[in-house]
Structure 1
Amino acid sequence: MKLGLQLGYWQRNADDATETVLTAERLGYDSIWTAEAYGSDVFTPLAWYGARTSRIKLGTSIAQMSARPPVTTAMTAMTLDHLTGGRLLLGIGASGPQVVEGWYGQPFAKPLTRTREYVDIMRQVWRREEPVTSDGAHYPLPLPDGLGKPLKLITHPLRPDIPLYLGAEGPKNVALAAELGQGWLPLFAFPSKIEEMYGEALSGAAPGFDVAAMVMVMISDDVQAALDGVKMMLTLYIGGMGARHRNFHADIIGRMGFAEAAERIQALYLAGKKDEAFRAIPDELADGISLVGPPGRIKERLELWRQSPVTSLLVMGPRDEKSLTIIRDLVLN
């Protein structure tokens, strides 16, 4: 199992994690990952960290498709991959209606079809076999009835096939990741239920396909306090990160077997009862998607992850060297 560090996106203030990244590289972590929502972007921090490191892989989880046309993401990825000596892992995703429509002012329509077109165009850009064209409905190239002509990337990419990961939660999107990509980035993974939920979707994956699961890790002798930290994150995602009638995060929690709880949590959160929403999250759910407690407990629960389809753990939470060292020893030794 490979080990990565998920840095996420900046919260209220700028978050230069250079020292944490240097520590992770020194300790033998395989990768670091950044994210974006509607604050800090996903690529600039990676360029910053890439200039200060030499080995660790640099992942986006995720670059939102609606933030950039596919050729822009392809150019950015190619440039960063060149500058860092071929260390980029490009994770992309459709995001959700709230962000796509509310922040980018674009319709959230047919995410599977859009993703397929997006990936095809990026790979045309990187391979430079012909000028880039697309007759898809979402990203037609060149623009029909205009003055444009098909163009080919000026710069020769360092790698004609940059490793591509898809952020996906629904079974159809996961199946698309298995078909098109080199990896899948699940936000919430309940290791003992992945096979039941996604086994069929993952059946088409090529050998070496990377299931890179993001998992909150909290090293603490107070297990309940650590679980409460996980619940705070779940309260926001289940309750508020999505529209009332279309919340992909609440849907996935439902498919894990907590549909009734997810519905209650969202209803309480949207009614302004955030404390009650927090208390409505089952301990079993918080514990199932995280690794919390003293090192011995985490070591024991790691076996569930080793027995699952997960091949990379992307750790969320710890930033100090002591915690990163403990996690490294538990996962890699």
Structure 2
Amino acid sequence: MKLGYHLGYWSSGPPADALETIKTAESLGFDSVWTAEGYGSDAFTPLAWWGASTERIKLGTNIVQMSARTPTATAMSALTLDHLSGGRFVLGLGASGPQVVEGWYGQPYPKPLARTREYVEIVRKVVAREEPVTIDGQFFQLPLRGGTGLGKPLKSTVHPLRKEIPIYLAAEGPKNVALSAEICDGWLPLFFSPKTDGFYRAALEEGFARPGARHTIDDFEVAASVPVIVHDDVEAAAGFIKPSLALYIGGMGAKEVNFHHDVFARMGYEDVADKVQELYLAGRKAEATAAIPTSLVEDTALIGPAAKIREELARWESTVVTTLLLRGDAGTLRSVAEVLS
């Protein structure tokens, strides 16, 4: 498996020593570096700023939220970054959830899969630049239906460096995972576990089998964000990860719609996920964190002494995952790369 570095999105400000860490990742032979956005920092700007100081490493978004921009605006940024990076850009897209989509972007959330299909189609048409872009879809119309009547089909003034820019889709549910296999070039899973490999492999195969699918399992990328902590004390290592898990399981989404909660329920931790969500939404965050068993962390992360991680890595290498996306500072990347090499 390849290694990638995931900066994530900012908290109250830019992450410290980001450029040093990115340069370290490139020097260690990491394949890619990724940025994210929620409702604060955007994904494109940091990637352009810090990516300008690199030469080889791929530059990806994990993820750009589709509701934040029209498909043509996203395609413009992708075209621009691909040129500036010499063809190293990877566009990672995601639908996010109704709390952010409707609460922050003021956009409708229903039918995210159908909306994603139209979105990706438009981005590909813009990048290919074969003809003026037109679509009369359910969610997007170019030119706009019912406007002034003066809109005209256009194509980008910028000629693409490549006729196709790789598009990866962030997905957690089986229908969305299948969609990634059908219309995209890669899948960006969150909270992947080797024990759920069969479930996701089946969803991917369903997408590959659809008419017009672009890939097979043999040439499809799966870049999974996987916490890796080298530490002599497994419980201490798990303790670094549990607060983040409590946030995602308990608080990232409404009680009725939380895709992260559902991932762990499918993994066999439904009772745990329900308890964590109940405690977290009640404001009892410390108790929610304490309710997460270390076994759950070990199912979705590589933690503990170096020998333990090396032994467990074999389980990951037999899955659909092609790239492990790591987080941490430069020192963390060095120690992890040494263990995983």
Q: Report TM bin, short chain.
A: over 0.9
State the alpha-carbon separation in 1 of the partners of residues 146 and 236 from structure 2: 61
Give the conservation status (yes or no) of the 8 Å contact 2:64–2:93. Answer: yes
Give the structure 1 partner of residue 173 of structure 2: 170
Give the structure 1 partner of residue 45 of structure 2: 44
| Structure 1 residue 330: Cα displacement | 3.0
Question: Structure 1 residue 141 and structure 2 residue 142: aligned?
Answer: yes
RMSD: 1.1
Give the structure 1 partner of residue 279 of structure 2: 268
201, 204, 217: which one pairs with 2:203?
Answer: 201
State the alpha-carbon separation in 2 of the partners of residues 193 and 95 from structure 1: 22
Give the structure 1 partner of residue 63 of structure 2: 62
**What letter matches 1:329 in structure 2?**
E
Give the conservation status (yes or no) of the 8 Å contact 2:326–2:333. Answer: no
Give the conservation status (yes or no) of the 8 Å contact 2:134–2:143. Answer: yes
Question: Structure 1 residue 228 and structure 2 residue 239: aligned?
Answer: yes
State the alpha-carbon separation in 2 of the partners of residues 60 and 14 from structure 1: 16
Give the conservation status (yes or no) of the 8 Å contact 1:213–1:313. Answer: yes
State the alpha-carbon separation in 2 of the partners of residues 282 and 246 from structure 1: 23
**Paired residues, number:** 329
Give the conservation status (yes or no) of the 8 Å contact 1:164–1:181. Answer: yes
Give the structure 2 partner of residue 324 of structure 1: 333
Give the structure 2 partner of residue 3 of structure 1: 3
TM value normalised by structure 1: 0.96
State the alpha-carbon separation in 2 of the partners of residues 274 and 50 from structure 1: 36
TM value normalised by structure 2: 0.94
| Structure 1 residue 4: Cα displacement | 0.3
State the alpha-carbon separation in 1 of the partners of residues 138 and 256 from structure 2: 26
Q: Where in structure 1 do 4 or more consecutive aligned residues deviate above 3 Å?
A: none
| Structure 1 residue 13: Cα displacement | 1.9
State the alpha-carbon separation in 1 of the partners of residues 243 and 310 from structure 2: 24
- Aligned residue for 2:287, secondary structure, equals helix
| Structure 1 residue 298: Cα displacement | 1.2
- Output aligned runs, 1:50-199, within 5 Å: 50-146=51-147, 147-195=150-198, 197-199=199-201
Deviations for 1:47-68, whole angstroms, at most 9, x for unmatched residues?
0122101000001000000000
State the alpha-carbon separation in 2 of the partners of residues 40 and 275 from structure 1: 27
- When structure 1 is superposed on structure 2, of 89-98 and 291-300 the one drifting more is 291-300
- Aligned residue for 1:80, secondary structure, equals helix
Deviations for 1:160-218, whole angstroms, at most 9, x for unmatched residues?
110110000000000000011111000110112222x2122111152310111101111
State the alpha-carbon separation in 2 of the partners of residues 145 and 185 from structure 1: 36
Give the structure 1 partner of residue 212 of structure 2: none
| Structure 1 residue 329: Cα displacement | 3.0
